[in-house]
Amino acid sequence: MLDVSTENPDGKATPSRRRAPRAKAEPATPRQQPRAATRRVSTTRAKVERGPEAAAPLRGVPSAPPAVTSSVLPTDLPDDRYFNRELSWLDFNARVLALAEDSSQPLLERAKFLAIFASNLDEFYMVRVAGLKRRAETGLSVRSADGLTPREQLVGISKRSQELVEQHARAFLDHIRPGLEQHQISIVTWGDLTDYDRLRLSNYFSEQVFPVLTPLAVDPAHPFPYISGLSLNLAVTVRDPEGGGERFARVKVPDNVPRLVRVEADRSSSSATFLPLEELIAAHLGELFAGMEVIECHAFRVTRNADLEVEEDRDEDLLQALERELARRRFGPPVRLEVADDMTEHMLELLLREMEVDPHDVVTVPGLLDLSCLWQLYGIDRKTLKDPAFVPATHPAFGERETPKSVFATLREGDVLVHHPYDSFSTSVQRFIEQAAADPHVLAIKQTLYRTSGDSPIVDALIDAAEAGKQVVALVEIKARFDEQANIKWARTLEKAGVHVVYGLVGLKTHCKTSLVVRQEGSTIRRYCHIGTGNYNPKTARLYEDVGILTAEPTIGADLTDLFNVLTGYARQDEYRSLLVAPYGVRKGIVERIHHEIEAAQAGQPSGVRIKVNSLVDEQVIDALYRASQAGVPVDVVVRGICGLKPGIKGLSENIRVRSILGRFLEHSRVFRFVASDEYWIGSADMMHRNLDRRVEVAVRVADPRLTKQLGDMFDSALDPHTRCWILRSDGEWEASPSDGTSVRDHQMELLHRHGALG
């Protein structure tokens, strides 16, 4: 859950036996060195039109890009060595869709994957497609790593998206909907209802829906209304019986009324029948347009550019600047128009003309628009149609004892690695912060917050700590995409409680997941730390797969102290003892370790690289992996989403294997294993330009053999030949595996059993 993209959960993986085809890549243009950051930034990604850095350096931003040795930028690798990022993302969403098509999955889980696919595609258009359209419209000729211009990418995206949208609709209409009906869960039309049900729903319409509807006419006195992004609308043509003239009107389907209206009056009924709200409104248009004849009515939906730009060097409060941009977000230009497949050409032409939408941006949808409404069906209490329930287990280090031990006493005995959602977030990380807030010996708590829940116990604990007189610092990233408003609210709540709130560094997002607790223990000061791969959000911690380390290691504590001084003050440190920190050191550290594996392989020593990330598109990291493969280093990549690397190509990448695991939980952790140096690292950064160049990210080495064994076992399970997954081929197709009829194992289910999280 997103991310998406943002970051949405992508469900339980039993891949379809069909391959997900993708467009063939064009020859690439080698990527140029990234320019230095400037003060004008986009909150969702760097603008390709950035100019040279201003003379006055930004606080915390290096005056030049990190130095890259010539060996990191090979010139003899083939130009066509990268897959297209955007088409790779569409392949990822195709794998999500394959989960919905998999008949071995519980039926409501399949419906959930249809909803996730729809939400994922919305965000993709709001951010990625919007950015490409802006580049194309401004005439920027910057090509992607695979050599495509923005316009060429848009053409490919349009074609692939239409294919997937039709496949998505057919999965619902031909499989999920009939399957649900067999279990007495139905989505019906107005014509399917009995007279009794129509009468009851007509009363519901009059009492609950009609008062909030506002039909907007279009004529010389009424200009075409503004259509807000992602709103569902009805395009209506009415005729005046007296004059015979036809008029257009728009009716917005309200989003503060359930999209699927329950038909049964008795909610305890074994059957659950739903009528789409737009069907109910369409059946009662005569009440909205009294005295007029309704000629036609069709559903449509607009997606708008949701990118934000903030001038961070202006002499004003960043919160106020961001709030201003949030108010503008809903007025972004349209990037997609979804229309029902029964819409007439006349009506479509009117919408295109009035909203200034390019015909290439039209997506025709069979059946219901916006199947994210299927989350409502997923809320039905039908345990037999869902995955078995699980309860995250309390980590053995924090388990019940006759004499309960504090988290601090446990960490003094040794580091603890937690693996969510298998290990409980609330009894480990959350308890760590809550005990720190209540402990009279704790002097200070420093915390980064990128995304958190609406009723965050972490925020509550920080407030309690501040009110108890502790020094509390919270770095709230108010530019976290689509969580900006919520984070502004948290920032103000924390400030009112006396917490020192900062918003990070100008020109960079703070994406790292770090906590630092300073505790007085006798005559000494001890520091306790948490560094993880996921957000401090107890709700998504039950849906996202993440790892984190809790430690009292002095060098890590010293590093986090230095890092928070950079984040809150004017320090410009870029070297750390036990950490890799972006934008200075994560790429450099990863590439250097890959090169060490190459040297080991060339010397005849054991070598190997294992990487688990959400996305792998950074050209410098990919090229280093190509070099490793050429040197004979075995490379295994587990990537959930985007992958720009081409595996299995003779002479380039025949020693590289790439697989993708999509499952009940969103695979979100970032873990790195280097065999020759015997190192494991975990961190917050994906191998993407935005993470490595434009964010504050942290990776920490996990050194304790007890903990590295846990990470090794996780890799072994994910890479087991019998693990159900998708394998990336050299031609860009993702192939379901295993495909030879052998028995398969579910990686996530296996971990649930290992941790004792299933009943």
Catalytic residues: 511
The three-state secondary structure class of 437 is helix
Cβ atoms of 102 and 724 closer than 8 Å: no
The residue assigned the tokens 């580091």 is: 415
* Three-state DSSP string of 57-93: CCCCCCCCCCCCCHHHCCCCCCCCCECCHHHHHHHHH
The three-state secondary structure class of 555 is helix
Q: Regarding beta strands 40-42 and 309-311, do their DSSP bridges make them parallel or antiparallel, or are they unpaired?
A: antiparallel
Is 576 annotated in a binding site? The answer is no
Residue in 299, 142, 166 with CA at minimum distance from that of residue 233:
299
Cβ atoms of 297 and 204 closer than 8 Å: no
Cβ atoms of 12 and 663 closer than 8 Å: yes
Q: Regarding beta strands 609-613 and 40-42, do their DSSP bridges make them parallel or antiparallel, or are they unpaired?
A: unpaired
Is 120 annotated in a binding site? The answer is yes
Distance CA 226, CA 229 (A): 10
Widest Cα–Cα separation across the chain? 93
Is 668 annotated in a binding site? The answer is yes
Q: Regarding beta strands 609-613 and 635-639, do their DSSP bridges make them parallel or antiparallel, or are they unpaired?
A: parallel
Residue in 87, 95, 102 with CA at minimum distance from that of residue 116:
95
Residue in 299, 303, 360, 363 with CA at minimum distance from that of residue 335:
303
176 DSSP assignment: I
Residue in 4, 106, 1, 111 with CA at minimum distance from that of residue 374:
111
Q: How many CB atoms lie within 10 A of CB 349?
A: 11
Is 640 annotated in a binding site? The answer is yes
Tokens of 604: 């005849």
- What are the binding residues for Mg(2+)? 451, 481
- What are the binding residues? 120, 451, 481, 544, 640, 668
